[in-house]
Amino acid sequence: MEAVFQGFKAVGGLTIGITPGYDKKEANEHADIVIPTGLGLARNVLVVKSAEVVVALPGEAGTLSEIAYCLQFGIPVISLKSWDIPGVIKAETVEEAVNKVRELLKA
Protein backbone atom coordinates (compact mmCIF):
# COMPACT_ATOMS: atom_id res chain seq x y z
CA MET A 1 0.00 0.00 0.00
CA GLU A 2 2.88 2.36 0.58
CA ALA A 3 3.68 2.44 -3.15
CA VAL A 4 0.02 3.11 -3.96
CA PHE A 5 -0.06 5.99 -1.48
CA GLN A 6 3.16 7.41 -2.95
CA GLY A 7 1.65 7.29 -6.43
CA PHE A 8 -1.52 9.08 -5.39
CA LYS A 9 0.42 11.77 -3.53
CA ALA A 10 2.75 12.26 -6.51
CA VAL A 11 -0.23 13.44 -8.57
CA GLY A 12 -1.75 15.53 -5.79
CA GLY A 13 -4.13 12.91 -4.41
CA LEU A 14 -5.39 12.60 -0.85
CA THR A 15 -4.61 9.31 0.90
CA ILE A 16 -6.61 7.67 3.67
CA GLY A 17 -5.34 4.75 5.72
CA ILE A 18 -7.87 2.57 7.53
CA THR A 19 -5.75 0.58 9.98
CA PRO A 20 -6.62 -2.67 11.77
CA GLY A 21 -5.31 -1.52 15.15
CA TYR A 22 -5.78 1.46 17.43
CA ASP A 23 -2.43 3.14 16.77
CA LYS A 24 -2.27 5.78 14.05
CA LYS A 25 1.42 4.97 13.65
CA GLU A 26 0.43 1.69 11.97
CA ALA A 27 -0.24 3.65 8.78
CA ASN A 28 2.59 4.33 6.39
CA GLU A 29 4.16 7.78 6.29
CA HIS A 30 2.29 8.71 3.11
CA ALA A 31 -1.18 8.52 4.69
CA ASP A 32 -2.74 11.98 4.94
CA ILE A 33 -5.69 10.82 7.00
CA VAL A 34 -5.46 7.80 9.31
CA ILE A 35 -8.52 6.05 10.68
CA PRO A 36 -7.50 3.55 13.37
CA THR A 37 -10.31 1.03 13.86
CA GLY A 38 -9.16 -1.57 16.37
CA LEU A 39 -11.14 -4.07 14.28
CA GLY A 40 -8.34 -6.24 12.94
CA LEU A 41 -9.25 -7.85 9.64
CA ALA A 42 -12.89 -6.86 10.13
CA ARG A 43 -11.76 -3.40 9.03
CA ASN A 44 -11.80 -4.77 5.48
CA VAL A 45 -15.55 -4.17 5.43
CA LEU A 46 -14.91 -0.46 6.08
CA VAL A 47 -12.23 -0.35 3.40
CA VAL A 48 -14.59 -1.84 0.82
CA LYS A 49 -17.74 0.06 1.83
CA SER A 50 -15.90 3.39 1.60
CA ALA A 51 -15.08 2.77 -2.07
CA GLU A 52 -16.97 3.13 -5.33
CA VAL A 53 -14.49 0.86 -7.13
CA VAL A 54 -11.75 -1.34 -5.64
CA VAL A 55 -8.49 -2.32 -7.31
CA ALA A 56 -7.09 -5.52 -5.83
CA LEU A 57 -3.32 -5.94 -5.99
CA PRO A 58 -1.52 -9.25 -5.51
CA GLY A 59 -2.02 -10.26 -1.92
CA GLU A 60 -3.06 -12.97 0.45
CA ALA A 61 -6.15 -13.80 2.50
CA GLY A 62 -6.87 -10.17 3.42
CA THR A 63 -7.03 -9.22 -0.25
CA LEU A 64 -9.25 -12.22 -0.93
CA SER A 65 -11.65 -11.13 1.84
CA GLU A 66 -11.83 -7.61 0.40
CA ILE A 67 -12.64 -9.04 -3.04
CA ALA A 68 -15.36 -11.22 -1.48
CA TYR A 69 -16.88 -8.22 0.29
CA CYS A 70 -16.89 -6.28 -2.98
CA LEU A 71 -18.73 -9.08 -4.73
CA GLN A 72 -21.23 -9.41 -1.86
CA PHE A 73 -21.93 -5.65 -1.74
CA GLY A 74 -22.01 -5.16 -5.52
CA ILE A 75 -18.94 -2.93 -5.56
CA PRO A 76 -16.93 -3.31 -8.78
CA VAL A 77 -13.52 -4.84 -8.16
CA ILE A 78 -10.62 -4.87 -10.61
CA SER A 79 -7.92 -7.48 -10.17
CA LEU A 80 -4.52 -6.08 -11.14
CA LYS A 81 -2.62 -9.37 -11.50
CA SER A 82 -4.36 -10.55 -8.34
CA TRP A 83 -6.95 -13.25 -7.65
CA ASP A 84 -8.83 -14.67 -10.67
CA ILE A 85 -12.42 -15.00 -9.48
CA PRO A 86 -15.71 -14.95 -11.43
CA GLY A 87 -17.26 -11.48 -11.26
CA VAL A 88 -13.90 -9.72 -10.88
CA ILE A 89 -12.67 -7.49 -13.71
CA LYS A 90 -9.17 -8.42 -14.81
CA ALA A 91 -6.40 -5.91 -15.63
CA GLU A 92 -2.83 -6.69 -16.62
CA THR A 93 -1.30 -3.22 -16.33
CA VAL A 94 -1.70 -0.19 -14.10
CA GLU A 95 -2.85 1.84 -17.09
CA GLU A 96 -5.52 -0.73 -17.93
CA ALA A 97 -6.74 -0.75 -14.32
CA VAL A 98 -6.88 3.06 -14.20
CA ASN A 99 -8.85 3.16 -17.47
CA LYS A 100 -11.31 0.58 -16.13
CA VAL A 101 -11.76 2.61 -12.93
CA ARG A 102 -12.47 5.72 -14.98
CA GLU A 103 -15.03 3.84 -17.11
CA LEU A 104 -16.78 2.48 -14.05
CA LEU A 105 -16.92 5.88 -12.34
CA LYS A 106 -18.48 7.46 -15.45
CA ALA A 107 -21.22 4.81 -15.61
DSSP track, 4-20: HHHHHHHTT---EEEES
Write the pLDDT tens digit of every residue in 58-94: 999 999 999 999 999 999 999 999 999 999 999 999 9
Same domain, 18 and 57: no
| Beta-strand pair 77-80/54-56 | parallel
- Provide the residue range defining the domain that includes 63: 51-107
Q: pTM of the prediction?
A: 0.86
Does some domain include residue 46?
no
Residue 69's H or E segment, with its range, is helix 61-73
Q: Is residue 1 over pLDDT 90?
A: no
- At 32, the amino acid letter reads D
Identify whether 45 is part of a domain: no
Residues 63 and 99 reside in one and the same domain: yes
User: Count of CB atoms within 10 A of residue 42's CB?
Assistant: 11
